[in-house]
Structure 1
């Protein structure tokens, strides 16, 4: 009897080991905490004031998640990701009523045919263009974003109800496409999304393009189809400037069409890049108002030593449309120095200066660096952050 029990126990251990070898679940995360100084912040109806504040995600949004696979054989796997963004300052979710507010998807992945996934996912601007811009990377991030993150390169919102395909790597070429359903009977186009893009790596050259389209029938935030493709943000890109906090700009227009392209070139310890993006909003708030944003970003990174990385960017952005004169343009200079204690832990200091011209009383008429609490009371604003980042 004892011999049978021992034999049975050994068999169970062996089977458990086989199952573990075929399946994997990884717990991962990133914590980004900093102290930020910003000048000229509007406080109520008064003039601008300096602000010292603790920040979460000054470079990369703090997050934790689960990532897993099951090997089905013949190069086919089941894959899933569940990822939560949170505010380190108070421990709250970075968007309301969503546990896995950054990503939540499951699908199939094949070495030969690529991956097909379903759930809440990133669009092609994030997948293919953002890695070529400092705002979309660990070398710049939130404060380096283009005004109001109008092109979503800082991943301020994700796409619900989405089906996404990512191709395998064909000699450096990858392509992808996504469709986010409105999930509303009789209103197929009311808050839907579609996106596609590609990237190509050839030696030291890295090129990417992306497109994102949104459409909606909402005239006010209260009329927004809250079961649709885009319903809230995990970032703070809008902060109530043109829409209430948590409502992306594009879903309050009858359509948003965003195109972007970028290129990086690596030479020795340096990487230089250029990114262009264009966002067109049609019938904002379902009125006759339409507008555009254009962004031109030049950036560079330099590995001074294996532990020290320097980066900087200059971005010129301009708005246009039929809403009358006085539409602004922006100039922004951003710089960052990063020191790695280890592969997982680093400290950084970064700063961004922005000037909006012409100045005015509207949210678009004053400077407003992405991710800071409030806009400037003038056409200029500067922020500086010292932060600690840990990955696990």
Structure 2
């Protein structure tokens, strides 16, 4: 259910003691929305705590979609021009803690102008193009064992960002520039050191009928003066094609990285992926996907294969099951939720294969 604030209405105080007042004029709206998701997760061959390699069970959060709540709004300024904003907060359902480094609105926090003729210009903390376009490429539909496990930048965001989004017939273009993409882990921007923490992204997709073709490029400089001339660079090419009740997916990502401090979390590699999603009934859809990684610096490879099933009890509430199996070579340590991720239940021991299962409930409002 979505709530609308209509003509000359007044709202005071929303979450966490922050006063929020809004006088909405004609043809203006503010929408409250959210997702809450939690369930039980199982994983074997876990490397947490250090030295262990056992089986673990835990109450998880966001295994199907990460939990969130937010406000988004639009005001008609006339002549096809609108003022827009979004404030979106991520939270862990098992503890109630804020996510995204403890930010109140860590998922999104931006304001901008949107023109029906020229596109949208937005300012603030925003999703990167890989995030915007990745969802339509992921067979597992952004479950915790899908794209976000293969590379965290598939759900990446940038602080201090200016972005442009435009539509031109079947083409959509998105470009982003950040003056300092990570302000919690580092003090950016740095006066006198222009390249520290800078980020540049561009991407686009072509959507025509059942066909979706997508390309994105991302470059992030180091977060310190010593690493400012080094960068992470990502190239993504993929597509999907819908055939009646089935959607086919495939693509390729290349990650190049010469920032020493981020090599553990983002090792240089290439990834090839493919899969299918099938609508069995209006209430049940299932998916299968495979993601193959070849790592450069450690001469290793990993294969992650996953299955996902969603059963919708209503338009807003679903039961889900996610199952994935990761095969690591002797030097690889990829888990069901990614390489180098500090998630206790799924951090894998080096060279160990891992089975992970998540069962839970998701509700949208």
* Cα distance change, pair 341–215 in 1 and its aligned pair in 2 (3 A): same
* Cα distance change, pair 16–83 in 1 and its aligned pair in 2 (3 A): closer
Residue 281 of structure 2 corresponds to residue 328 of structure 1:
no
**Residue number among 16, 23, 26 corresponding to 1:21 in the alignment:** 26
> Larger helix proportion, structure 1 or 2?
1
Cα shift readout 1:72-91 (whole Å, capped 9, x = no counterpart) = 01111000000000001111
**What SS class does the counterpart of residue 44 from structure 2 fall into?**
strand
Larger radius of gyration: 1
Partner of 1:295: 271
Kept after mapping to 2: 8 A contact 1:211/1:260: yes
**What SS class does the counterpart of residue 127 from structure 1 fall into?**
helix
Kept after mapping to 2: 8 A contact 1:33/1:55: yes
Q: CA deviation at 1:375?
A: 2.3
Residue 165 of structure 2 corresponds to residue 166 of structure 1:
yes
Cα shift readout 1:106-136 (whole Å, capped 9, x = no counterpart) = 000011110000000011111123421235x
Residue 88 of structure 2 corresponds to residue 83 of structure 1:
yes
Partner of 1:208: 214
RMSD between superposed Cα atoms in Å:
2.5
Residue 235 of structure 2 corresponds to residue 262 of structure 1:
no
Q: CA deviation at 1:302?
A: 0.3
Residue 128 of structure 2 corresponds to residue 123 of structure 1:
yes
Partner of 1:369: 336
* Cα distance change, pair 166–50 in 1 and its aligned pair in 2 (3 A): same
* Cα distance change, pair 81–19 in 1 and its aligned pair in 2 (3 A): closer
Kept after mapping to 1: 8 A contact 2:195/2:228: no
**Residue number among 345, 348, 355 corresponding to 2:320 in the alignment:** 348
Cα shift readout 1:263-293 (whole Å, capped 9, x = no counterpart) = 1000010000102111100142399xx9621
Count of residue correspondences: 332
CA distance in 1, matches of 2:195, 2:307: 41
* Cα distance change, pair 351–78 in 1 and its aligned pair in 2 (3 A): same
CA distance in 2, matches of 1:189, 1:113: 30
Structure 2 regions of 5+ residues with no counterpart? 1-5, 11-22, 181-188
CA distance in 2, matches of 1:266, 1:105: 33
**What SS class does the counterpart of residue 126 from structure 1 fall into?**
helix
Partner of 2:109: 104
**What SS class does the counterpart of residue 230 from structure 2 fall into?**
strand
Q: CA deviation at 1:171?
A: 2.1
Structure 1 regions of 5+ residues with no counterpart? 1-12, 224-250
Partner of 2:18: none
CA distance in 2, matches of 1:44, 1:178: 39
CA distance in 2, matches of 1:369, 1:277: 18
Partner of 2:295: 319
**Residue number among 105, 108, 113 corresponding to 2:118 in the alignment:** 113
CA distance in 2, matches of 1:15, 1:329: 59
TM-score by length of 1: 0.79
TM-score by length of 2: 0.85
CA distance in 2, matches of 1:130, 1:102: 15
